[in-house]
């Protein structure tokens, strides 16, 4: 069966706060676990009023404690913001507390604006050392060698699986070179998706842990009982994306009817392109859209995200999405 997972940014809806958002994330993770989702990943973003997962390892610990079997992980940690040793200790601690449940996805972008990146106290050129930092981090998770002086404790020997995240060709090339799984951020930056997947698969160098390439496709999902209701729910994320791109980040807006008539046409065209890899609509519409994405890109896993203002509606959306992915997986097996 084709695995399906959740990417959660712990959205803070307009009229709510970060505590409620984090409680909602834990509730969504329990819901996803019951629905057969393989992973529940959370993303590192900073200085964004609408996202509560900035302290990613802390929020993942909260989610892990609220669940039993679903894998939890970062999707991802923006490694240029941190020293590899600190991340090894954080995720090594999680892996020690929750054995065989922890993943670590790594991104090269800062996950914020340049002013905030400076406040994080890391060298702004740190992304240039991303490949070396990934290799260093991998080593910390292996059993310590004889005489090894620098060790991640907890962390060493946990062999936390690493995933490279990206929205450009660089990440695809690095993941292929290191023999690591690759997740493409097609849920908000799909422009280079086709080329990145091709490069990753064609240049992949087998590793002991991953003898074959492993590609994760990220897609948005906005599912409801009708197409019209799903389009309405999607408008929250569309507004949030427009606000972010125009320099006005805020909490996740309430949905609106007929968004196209309320925003600048160029802004609407921009968000349509950014969210092009989406499944929006009724159960039948969502299943059809996901089926077409799976047929086109042949992913080894699909990770779904979707910022919806109402928590109950968001849970319902992921329920419909799980049913759709199960149907797509069965059809793929039968083909």
Residue 143 sits in a domain of what CATH number? 3.20.20.30
Examine the pLDDT at 122 and tell me if it is beyond 80: no
* Dist. CA 78–CA 56, nearest whole Å: 10
Examine the pLDDT at 110 and tell me if it is beyond 80: no
In the numeric block, the tokens 């009982």 are attached to: 225
Q: Is the peptide bond before 192 cis (omega within 30 degrees of 0)?
A: no
Contact 188, 155 (CB under 8 A): no
In degrees and rounded to multiples of 5, residue 198 shows phi and psi of -65, -45
Q: Indicate the burial class of 297 (C-beta count within 10 angstroms; 0-12, 13-18, 19 or more).
A: middle
Q: Quick one: which of 52, 62, 46 has its CA closest to 18?
A: 52
Q: How far apart are the first and last CA of the chain?
A: 12
- Selected residue with higher pLDDT from 92 and 122: 92
| 264 assigned to some structural domain | no
pLDDT of 180: 98
| 115 assigned to some structural domain | yes
- Selected residue with higher pLDDT from 129 and 102: 102
pLDDT of 146: 82
| 325 assigned to some structural domain | yes
Examine the pLDDT at 101 and tell me if it is beyond 90: yes
| 226 assigned to some structural domain | no
Averaged pLDDT, 81-91? 95
Contact 88, 155 (CB under 8 A): yes
* Dist. CA 233–CA 259, nearest whole Å: 11
Examine the pLDDT at 121 and tell me if it is beyond 90: no
Average pLDDT, the chain: 94
pLDDT of 144: 86
Examine the pLDDT at 123 and tell me if it is beyond 70: no
| 172 assigned to some structural domain | yes
In three-state secondary structure terms, 321 is helix
* Dist. CA 20–CA 111, nearest whole Å: 23
- Segment 128-180, tens digit of pLDDT: 789 999 999 999 999 988 888 899 999 999 999 999 999 999 999 999 999 99
pLDDT of 125: 60
| CB hemisphere CA count around 177 (13 angstroms) | 10
Which residues form the domain of 25? 4-220+300-334
Name the band, by pLDDT with cuts 50, 70 and 90, for residue 215.
Answer: very high
Angle, CA of 83, 88 and 94, to the nearest 5°: 135
* Dist. CA 71–CA 270, nearest whole Å: 34
Averaged pLDDT, 299-305? 98
In degrees and rounded to multiples of 5, residue 151 shows phi and psi of -135, 150
Predicted structure pTM score: 0.95
In the numeric block, the tokens 């200085």 are attached to: 47
* Dist. CA 331–CA 335, nearest whole Å: 6
* 216 CB-near residues (< 8 Å, 6+ apart): 5, 163, 181, 182, 183, 184, 299, 300, 301, 302, 303
DSSP state at residue 218: E
DSSP state at residue 161: P
- Segment 233-261, tens digit of pLDDT: 999 999 999 999 998 999 999 999 999 99
Q: Which residues pair with 335 in a beta bridge?
A: none
| 249 assigned to some structural domain | no
Examine the pLDDT at 56 and tell me if it is beyond 80: yes
| 285 assigned to some structural domain | no
Q: Count up the domains in the chain and report the number.
A: 1
| 175 assigned to some structural domain | yes
pLDDT of 174: 97
């Amino acid at each position: 069966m084709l695995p399906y997972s959740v990417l959660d940014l712990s959205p803070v809806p307009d009229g709510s706060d970060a505590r409620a958002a984090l409680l909602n994330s834990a509730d969504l993770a329990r819901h996803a676990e019951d629905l057969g989702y393989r992973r529940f990943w959370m993303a590192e973003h900073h200085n964004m009023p609408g996202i509560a997962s900035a302290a990613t390892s802390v929020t993942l610990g909260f989610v892990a404690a609220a669940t039993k079997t679903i894998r939890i992980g970062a999707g991802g940690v923006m490694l240029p913001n941190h020293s590899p040793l600190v991340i090894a200790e954080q995720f090594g601690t999680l892996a020690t507390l929750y054995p065989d449940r922890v993943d670590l996805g790594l991104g090269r972008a800062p996950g914020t604006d340049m002013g905030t990146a400076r406040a994080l106290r890391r060298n702004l050129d740190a992304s240039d050392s991303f490949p070396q930092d990934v290799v260093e981090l991998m080593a910390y998770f292996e059993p310590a060698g004889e005489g090894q002086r620098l060790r991640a404790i907890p962390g060493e020997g946990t062999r936390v699986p690493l995933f490279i995240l990206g929205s450009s060709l660089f990440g695809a090339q690095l993941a292929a070179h290191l023999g690591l799984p690759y997740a493409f951020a097609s849920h908000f930056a799909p422009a280079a998706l086709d080329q990145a997947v091709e490069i990753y698969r064609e240049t992949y160098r087998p590793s002991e842990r991953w003898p074959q390439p492993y590609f994760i496709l990220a897609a948005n999902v906005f599912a409801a009982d009708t197409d019209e209701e799903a389009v309405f729910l999607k408008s929250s994320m569309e507004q949030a994306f427009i606000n972010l791109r125009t320099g006005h980040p805020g909490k996740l807006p309430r949905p609106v009817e007929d968004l196209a008539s309320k925003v600048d046409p160029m802004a609407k065209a921009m968000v349509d392109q950014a969210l092009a890899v989406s499944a929006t609509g009724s159960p039948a519409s969502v299943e059809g859209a996901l089926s077409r994405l799976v047929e086109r890109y042949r992913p080894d896993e699909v990770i779904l995200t979707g910022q919806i203002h109402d928590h109950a509606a968001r849970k319902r959306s992921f329920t419909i999405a799980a049913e759709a992915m199960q149907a797509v997986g069965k059809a793929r097996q039968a083909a």
